[in-house]
Structure 1
Amino acid sequence: MRACVQHASRSGCCGNKTGANDPEIALPTSLAPEANHLLASLPAVDKARLFPHLELVQLPLGHVLYESGSQMRHVHFPTDAIISLLYVMEDGASAEIAVVGNDGIVGVSLFMGGETTPSRAVVQSAGHVYQLPGQVLKDEFLRAGPMQHLLLRYTQALLTQMAQTAVCNRHHSLDQQLCRWLLLSLDRRHSSELIITQELIASMLGVRREGVTEAAGNLQKADLIKYRRGHITVLDRAGLEARTCECYAVVRKEYDRLLPEVRFP
């Protein structure tokens, strides 16, 4: 697959828009449309119909894909980017309700008929997404074919993640929450390293920065992670799984059940 890479800013995307089959620039496998597991699992005939409408966009850390209540015009399929869905309070406080990576799609409200959502979508880990016009996806959804069934199952899995996140934030320690968050993020990356600040982690978890500092320090003392300014490297994934609460396993099991064709590490 070949495509043009656009660079995004908070005010929108710039650069020439080209489809995923454009012959201008050869892409590595990690940036092909099939790097997103939902797109990869579609039958060939559906890919042939959708892929010409895809546009590859490069997103920086902290970029806002959509704000609360804004009209959605596109959906996004991440390849190597990770997107956090946040609920933002009137006083500016926020907390993550779900994370989306190469396992899914950002913008489920559009094909579910809502068009808007009270959440905000923020880039948690810089990378690339494939942007698709909302009307193209709606037309494909209404075909009632493989894409519709895939998106409905994905939405159910996403709702499970949202519900489990709420339970986890209420009942489990910050150490456990951080372990869950790290594991969910690792599942959606091809690397053991995350480039993210403590301030952003605190915003995701809805806690004070000092709490994140303490929790990250506890995990580093246990030789589970290595933390330096803006970088977290996971040293012992099995150790994180042993230390986290049951919430991660519940979410992972539901994704595996509903989306067996979507590959996780």
Structure 2
Amino acid sequence: MPVAHAIKNNLLRHLAPEELAVFGPDILPVHLPKGLVIAAAGGPIEHVYFPDSGLGSIVVVSPEGNKVEGGMFGRDGFSPVQAAVGSSTSPHEIVMQTAGSGHRITLATFLRVMERSTSFARVLACYSQALAIQVTFTALSNATHTVDERLARWLLMCHDRMDGDELLLTHDYIALMLAVRRPSVTTALHVLEGNHFIRSERGRIVIRNRPAMEEFARDAYGKPEEEYRRLVGQPPADRSNIVMLAP
């Protein structure tokens, strides 16, 4: 008998069941543990991943080894996006920052399905544009906003892609993602906690008052999210989408 796998990834859920069936047995459910390197900087793209849960980071690595997060993805997208233009090499390091699960397909299957399904190709193109907008606004925020506001924006973005209000994130990892020193993260967390936006413990942050934190973040947050909704759209109201894998 075929095996049914629930799909929570927003891009795949925009496809009709008959379009999902084009993947056949080549789309495989996978666990995405924290720290999993989906692709190394300058390394080959062997599989394309569609998370159902968890958070992934697109990390820019300089020739000297300096790192900063350029983009974030979860069930809203797929990675590596370079696969959508036929590239077999990732210019960035792509790593899971919190554990989750999802589906993956080989690069060859991904390209084959793109050629066969215009709907699939279109939703990939729309997401790639939305991600590009996210990246440009990250650059703007890094240049114009305080660390407190940048941290509020980043936590809101994490919260968007997670179930529940608990984020398992260490100070060291946040510092790497924001390209600031660890003491700056600690100070910024104290500011957000003092305003009762969050509760911060070792390796754990709980969102307490999201609306107030959105107001605090000001124009650091919102425009890329608005563009994502315009380009890709919200997931269908029916959350029962499945893909049938052949035996």
The verdict on a shared fold, with TM-score over 0.5 as the criterion, is yes
Identity %: 32
Whether 1:114 and 2:87 are equivalent positions in the alignment is: yes
| Residues in 2 aligned to 1:176 and 1:134: alpha-carbon distance in whole angstroms | 38
Match of 1:7 in 2: none
CA–CA distance in 1 between the matches of 2:24 and 2:172?
A: 37
Alignment of 1:253 onto 2:219 = no
User: Is residue 210 of structure 2 the alignment partner of residue 244 of structure 1?
Assistant: no
Distance 1:106 1:33, change over 3 A: farther
Q: Is the 8 A contact 1:172 1:245 kept in 2?
A: no
1:57 aligned residue (21, 30, 41): 30
Name the CA distance, whole Å, in 2 between partners of 1:170 and 1:117: 26
Instruction: Report if aligned partners of 1:64, 1:123 keep a CA contact under 8 Å in 2.
Output: yes
What's the secondary structure of 1:142's corresponding residue? helix
C-alpha contact (below 8 Å) 2:153/2:217 kept by paired residues? yes
The residue number in structure 1 matching 2:99 is 126
Partner of residue 61, structure 2:
88
Q: Does 2:132 correspond to 1:159?
A: yes
**Match among 41, 56, 60 for residue 68 of structure 1:** 41
2:60 is paired with a residue of what secondary structure?
strand
Residue 149 of structure 2 contacts residue 220 of structure 2 at CA under 8 Å; is this kept in 1? no
Tell me if structure 2 keeps the 8 A contact 1:56–1:131: yes
Q: Give the 3 Å change call, closer, same or farther, for CA 263–237 of structure 1 in structure 2.
A: farther
Contact 1:98 1:158 (C-alpha < 8 Å) held by counterparts = yes
Structure 1 position 52, deviation (Å): 2.5
5 Å-filtered alignment, 1:1-265, equals 22=3, 32-262=5-235
Q: Name the aligned partner's letter for residue 165 of structure 1.
A: T
Alpha carbons 1:69, 1:116 under 8 Å: kept: yes
Hey, what's the Cα distance between the residues in 2 that align with 1:48 and 1:186? 31
Larger mean CA deviation between 36-45 and 109-118 belongs to: 109-118
Aligned length in residues? 237
* Aligned mates of 2:88, 2:64 — CA distance in 1: 25
Tell me if the contact between 2:50 and 2:79 (Cα under 8 Å) persists in the aligned partners: yes
Pairwise CA RMSD of aligned residues?
1.8
Deviation at 1:263, TM superposition (A): 6.6
SS at 1:86 equivalent: strand
Deviation at 1:135, TM superposition (A): 0.9
TM-score, length-normalised on structure 2?
0.91
Q: Cα distance, 1:247 vs. partner?
A: 3.2
Shift in alpha-carbon separation, 1:90–1:56, aligned structure 2, 3 A: same
For structure 2, the residue ranges without an aligned partner over 5 or more in a row are: 238-247
Q: Which runs of 5+ in 1 are unaligned?
A: 3-20, 24-31
Structure 2 counterpart of 1:180, one-letter code: R
Q: Structure 1 residues 250-259 or 53-62, which shifts more? A: 53-62
- Verify the 8 A CA contact 2:55 2:73 in the aligned structure 1: yes
User: Does the CA contact (< 8 Å) of 1:226 and 1:233 recur in 2?
Assistant: yes
Q: Deviations over 1:133-155 (max 9, x none)?
A: 11111011112511011101111
- CA distance in structure 1 between the partners assigned to 2:164 and 2:42 by the alignment: 33
Measured after TM superposition, the shift of residue 55 of structure 1 is 1.5
Aligned letter for 2:224?
V
- Letter of the structure 2 residue corresponding to residue 120 of structure 1: E
TM-score by length of 1: 0.85
